[in-house]
């Protein structure tokens, strides 16, 4: 099927690539269907385009690439809700916010968890863990370069 998007124009989406949120992205409760777009080969970022709102695109990053010590256990309720049976069936992403070229951050507190077998997803708030909602990619990249 073809969908119209503000950012990418018209794109073709295969049924097998559609992601359905069983627990929505925070602030977007009425939007449940998305597709992840690989805009550039070997890019550090992906795009998650809403299939229900042509103007809504999230920028995603692999949190483990930016924060190597990032780890958490999924609660039993999330394993059940997402029908997860194996760790190899899980993709984890973090929503990235680009406010300016010097202010880019990712939300480590509420990752996007995707069951790659069923294409069901949820944004999960990591209760009891002290991860920031605005982990700066710029400040931490500069620290690595020193």
Q: Residue 100: which pLDDT band, with cuts at 50, 70 and 90?
A: confident
CATH number at residue 31: 2.30.290.10
CA quadruple 73, 77, 78, 79: dihedral, nearest 10:
80
Q: What is the pTM of this model?
A: 0.89
pLDDT digits (tens, 9 = 90+) for 42-56: 678 899 999 999 999
* Sole residue written with tokens 């992403």: 93
- 35: containing domain: 2-145
Cα–Cα distance for residue pair 63/87, rounded to 1 Å? 16
Q: What is the pLDDT of residue 114?
A: 97
Q: How many domains does the chain have?
A: 1
Strands (DSSP E) found in the chain? 2-5, 9-12, 18-23, 33-37, 45-50, 57-61, 90-100, 103-106, 112-115, 120-123, 135-136
> Which of 34-43, 66-75, 89-98, 115-124 is the least confident region?
34-43
């Amino acid at each position: 099927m073809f969908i119209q998007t503000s950012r990418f124009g018209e794109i073709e989406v295969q049924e097998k690539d559609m992601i359905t949120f069983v627990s929505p992205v925070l602030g977007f409760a009425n939007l449940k269907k998305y597709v992840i777009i690989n805009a550039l080969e070997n890019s550090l970022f992906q795009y998650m385009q809403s299939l229900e709102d042509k103007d809504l695109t999230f920028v995603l990053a692999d949190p483990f690439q930016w924060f190597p010590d990032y780890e958490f256990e999924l609660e039993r309720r999330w394993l059940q809700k997402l029908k997860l049976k194996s760790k190899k069936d899980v993709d984890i992403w973090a929503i990235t916010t680009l406010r300016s070229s010097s202010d880019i951050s990712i939300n480590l507190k509420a990752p996007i968890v995707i069951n790659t077998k069923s294409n069901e997803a949820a944004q999960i708030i990591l209760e009891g863990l002290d991860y920031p909602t605005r982990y700066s990619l710029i400040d931490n990249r500069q620290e690595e370069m020193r």
